[in-house]
């Protein structure tokens, strides 16, 4: 079992790799690898899977949207122990797919780990933390509608990953980058539509 207090993406990827020791891996396998104590690492893991090639598999975006919404809502309400319904815990993916994604994410994870620090911490505590978690509940609601556009949910997943990474490492710069991503995406959408 990995120490969840280790606050790095590389550590989370190591745990995912460890959980994928059999032919298939379930959400429950990953939970067993880390324990049930912290919600943010699991929000981050779900979001990271959406910026990996796994997001191109039909159904993954909708599934991860459900996971992120449920986990983020629990964090908003201050729940200390993670809870997921059994049908989500039993969902399986081939270990080979998960391991491919973990390998694909290694270099970006190392980059983010090297470039994180204790910056703009007011964005990671108190009301700003709560606002960011509420944003993580709302943002994935539309992802199932994007299921037919391959990799479209990767932008939203990347935004949630920035939020979760910022809160997890207590680096407000990443939270700020998440809000800037929403702003730029909204402005781009507005410019294309109007």
**Alpha-carbon distance 143 to 30, whole Å?**
23
pLDDT at site 124: 94
pLDDT at site 41: 83
Distances (CA, A) of 3 to 6, 79, 116: 6, 20, 19
This prediction has a pTM of: 0.80
pLDDT at site 70: 92
- What residues contact residue 146 under an 8 Å CB cut-off, 6+ apart? 61, 152, 153, 156
Q: Which two tokens stand for residue 65?
A: 């949207």
Cα angle 140, 144, 146 (rounded to 5 degrees) comes to 100
pLDDT at site 4: 47
The per-residue pLDDT of the chain, averaged, comes to 85
pLDDT at site 128: 96
Q: Residue 71 is inside which H or E element, if any?
A: helix 60-76
Tens digits of residue pLDDT in 46-68: 898 888 877 777 888 888 899 89
Cα angle 143, 147, 153 (rounded to 5 degrees) comes to 50
In the chain, which residues have pLDDT < 70? 1-6, 35-38, 151
């Amino acid at each position: 079992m990995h120490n969840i207090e280790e606050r790095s993406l590389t550590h989370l990827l190591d745990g995912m790799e460890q959980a994928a020791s059999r032919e298939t891996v379930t959400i429950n396998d990953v939970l067993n690898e880390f324990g049930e104590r912290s919600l943010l690492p699991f929000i981050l893991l779900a979001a990271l899977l959406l910026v990996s090639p796994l997001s191109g598999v039909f159904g993954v975006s909708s599934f991860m949207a459900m996971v992120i919404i449920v986990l983020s809502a629990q964090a908003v309400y201050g729940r200390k122990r993670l809870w997921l319904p059994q049908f989500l815990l039993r969902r399986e993916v081939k270990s080979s797919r998960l391991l491919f994604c973990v390998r694909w994410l290694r270099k970006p994870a190392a980059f983010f780990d090297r470039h994180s620090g204790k910056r703009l911490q007011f964005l990671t505590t108190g009301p700003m933390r709560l606002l960011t978690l509420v944003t993580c509940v709302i943002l994935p609601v539309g992802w199932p509608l994007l299921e037919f556009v391959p990799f479209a949910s990767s932008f939203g997943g990347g935004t949630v990953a920035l939020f979760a990474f910022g809160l997890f490492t207590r680096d407000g710069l990443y939270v700020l980058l998440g809000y800037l991503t929403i702003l730029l995406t909204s402005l781009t959408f507005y410019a294309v539509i109007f």
